[in-house]
Amino acid sequence: MKIILAAPRGFCAGVNMAIECLELALRAFGRPVYVYHEIVHNKHVVDTFRERGAVFVDDLADVPEGANLLFSAHGVSPEIRRVARQRRLHAIDATCPLVTKVHLEALRFARAGYTIVLIGHEGHDEVIGTMGEAPEAILLVETAEDVDRLQLPPGTRLAYLTQTTLSVDDANRIIDRLRDRFPQIEGPPKEDICYATQNRQEAVRLLAADADVVLVLGSQNSSNSQRLRELAIDSGVPAHLIDGAHDIDDAWFQGQETVLVTAGASAPESVVQQCVDFLRARYGATVEQRAVRDEQVHFPLPRGLREVPAR
């Protein structure tokens, strides 16, 4: 067996920042630190932090008044911020700056009188937060067919925004359909799909052609990880989304395959290496790393955590 180890893979700058925020908050304030939703969509990361004293909640009513609270990387709506203030929570905002950019764009378009078409997945934490910025002005679409069903009054000023973790190809298909139906529609000054999502998709697109099987490290509720699996399958290669080496099924291999291994933006490098070690031990696999992009992006910590000494 030969392993092609894709690069870039795994944690992006936004995930790195959010995880560092939670680590520093636990060190500075002690346990428990409450987190609104999962800090990132990865089972390994969430379970590890839960063991260390993080408490993940989906309702701020479950957070005691005056407690320490972290907003996850996916962002929250203004209503959640209001409730946090009302409950006197010490809130730390670990929202990815690229998600914040989409929130600000939504506010700008809404204040200028636009109806906003948000391209994204219903129920995803990021989409819920973005729609909460201007719920009266935002329509959600998931597919090109959803665009066909839009009924808007003549003269409606339209703009579109996208979830940051979408498939680039899928998003472009929907944007093309929007432009076909509504030629005057406006978009963001700079595309919303994040650099890391695009880079990891590009790596799979370029490298899957040399592989017999693709393994994507990431959790089932990770949007960007799901897109990597789908992209590999669309390239004609069997692909599996796994949380770790324990999910690997021998039936996927005969032992002579070339296996492309990558990871979604919320999957830790440790689980990638455990997977590689498993394949080495079981199949005598050799490893070749192939890089298609160099990433040098870093986001600053929120103000409230910048003075906490790093480990």
Select from 293, 227, 290 the least CA-distant residue to 259: 290
Is there a catalytic annotation at residue 126?
A: yes
Rounded to 10°, the helix 195-207/168-181 angle is 110
Both tokens of 290, joined, read 């192939």
Q: What is the rounded CA–CA span in Å between residue 297 and residue 280? A: 31
Select from 5, 1, 15 the least CA-distant residue to 196: 15
Half-sphere exposure of 40 (CA within 13 A, CB side): 30
- Identified catalytic residue from 38, 126, 133, 257: 126
Phi then psi for residue 246, to 5 deg, are -65, -15
Q: What single letter denotes the amino acid at residue 264?
A: G
Phi then psi for residue 22, to 5 deg, are -70, -40
C-beta separation of 260 from 214 below 8 A: yes
- Residues marked active site are found at 126
